[in-house]
Copies of this chain bind each other. A is one copy, B any other.
């Protein structure tokens, strides 16, 4: 399926994790805030480029983005989350009823972008091969605060065979504007993760003998900042249900 066909399916109500969809095209995390919070959100991204690499910012009130000219950000994501005062209050299929002309949308790079070249290099990405959502965890590592926004870094985890970990670092490192190289390899306890089989977001993914858990900074981090910082209103994608752009993955390669 092309990116446009994928978005059409999500617009029509399909609700599935997007890993592996429209292969070769970048997917994006999303956070939408009132204009009055937009500077803090943009600054949070600037100060935390590993978890929050901002690849697109709409003009205030616009549901359109240069990253996918035919798309409507209010309807084209498979599952949205609506937040009030840091509490999740709704998970609708579209956000038409919540929209207003004062909202600014931030699109944030997604680690799925470097999964395609990792798979092409013969590295198994298990959540794709199993048709699951990636495992994501809140960590004990704090992001740099920005204005009223603060929170812990969220990471995604992929189990990688020990003899391919260096290749996974090298390949993902070629995509610095979409999370880039891992932030942590092995030793989950040093990130404050007690049980890898119980992710905070997404599905648990099997780790086999001879594999190492490799952690990449994750674009769900802004949602953890929303929970902590409690802005009056925000909209995000549901973790793993990304916005599919028209931008080829390799646009982001160094």
Contact = CB atoms under 8 A, between A and B. Distances in A.
Contacts of A176: 176-177, 254
Interface of A: 38-39, 42-43, 45-47, 49, 54, 57, 173-174, 176-177, 180, 254
Contacts of A177: 49, 176
Which 4 A-B pairs give the minimum distances between C-beta atoms?
A: A39-B39, A254-B254, A42-B42, A176-B254
Contacts of A57: 43, 46-47
8 contacts: A38-B39, A39-B42, A42-B46, A43-B57, A46-B46, A176-B176, A176-B254, A180-B254
A43 B173 CA distance: 25
Contact of A46 (B54, B173, B174): B54
A159 to B, nearest CB: 25
A3 B218 CA distance: 34
A241 B49 CA distance: 27
Contacts of A49: 177
A43 B54 CA distance: 10
A57 B146 CA distance: 10
Contacts of A180: 254
A180 B57 CA distance: 22
Contacts of A42: 39, 42-43, 46
Contacts of A47: 57
A193 B72 CA distance: 39
Contacts of A254: 173-174, 176, 180, 254
A12 B176 CA distance: 39
A38 B38 CA distance: 11
A53 to B, nearest CB: 10
A54 B44 CA distance: 13
A164 B173 CA distance: 25
A138 to B, nearest CB: 24
